[in-house]
Amino acid sequence: MTIKEVENRIRSFSYDKENLDQESVEFLQRCHLDERKGIQSIIRSYLKQQQKHQQELLRSHNMYNFEMELWHKGIVTIAGTDEVGRGCVAGPVVAAAVILPLEPMILGLNDSKKLTPIQREELNVQIRLQAIDIAIGEVDAQTIDKIGIVAATFAAMKQAIHQLMFKPDYILVDAFAIPGLDIPQSNIIGGDGKAASIAAASIVAKVYRDQKMVEYHAQFSDYGLNQHKGYGTREHMEAIRTYGFTPLHRKSFLKEITF
């Protein structure tokens, strides 16, 4: 076979060792013995990607450790919750609550901030297809100004949890415990990168909020909301100085701004 033919065939192989049939395994073994530099380069590249895939499988499996521990105790309806938009100067703070099934596991779940927009979009689709239940909570800028961002964040989380169709037996929450919640909970520091259901909530909330800010851009097109999503970038602050506040802006976050 030519080097190109070998490359095309190996490209069709799964990186998951368990999904490789005997014929594919034998083909790879023969390629190992092929002394052509091009073939050896292809094999090295494939093995490197296979190793990355195996590491991701292990990481993704470990993301379910918190849920597994609870499932083994007979606690099966577990909701993860997380928020996005807390540090923005415009737009709502949004929280999601997600209940995931034991199987199948969703590969690639992680803190939404560590994922690309495309990865978040793809995972959001998977989560929405596989989740047992999903709900969104949000608190607008006026309410944030009135009660403060901390209270608003907890309000959004409670709203999301209470809007779930299935009442959770247990809540996993990122960072800080939710005060006044009548459901047992565990707060996990860095939970959106450690617990699958929290990561799923992080992704769902992020995609939802980003889409909402893009929609707001059609109404307030001078502020670049579709780009910065409400964060206080230099361009955003300049737009506020030029055009003033919109109903989306958190004035309590912008006390120092001068016109």
Binding site listing? 82-83, 174
Both ends of the chain: CA-CA distance in Å?
70
Q: How many residues does the chain have?
A: 259
SS3 141: helix
* Phi, psi of 11, deg, nearest 5: -60, -25
Residues annotated within a binding site for a divalent metal cation: 82-83, 174
Q: Count other Cβ atoms within 10 Å, centred on residue 67.
A: 24
Q: Would you say 152 and 138 are in contact if contact means Cβ atoms under 8 Å apart?
A: no
**Cα angle 139, 171, 129; round to 5:** 80
Instruction: Give which of 92, 71, 87, 100 is closest to 198, Cα–Cα.
Output: 100
Task: Give the integer Cα–Cα distance in Å for 99 and 218.
Answer: 33
Q: How many CB atoms lie within 10 A of CB 167?
A: 13
* 3-state secondary structure (DSSP) of residue 42: helix
**Which residue type occupies 122?**
E
What is the C-alpha to C-alpha distance for residues 169 and 77, in angstroms, rounded to an integer? 5
Among the listed residues 212, 208, 179, the one whose alpha carbon sits nearest the alpha carbon of residue 98: 208
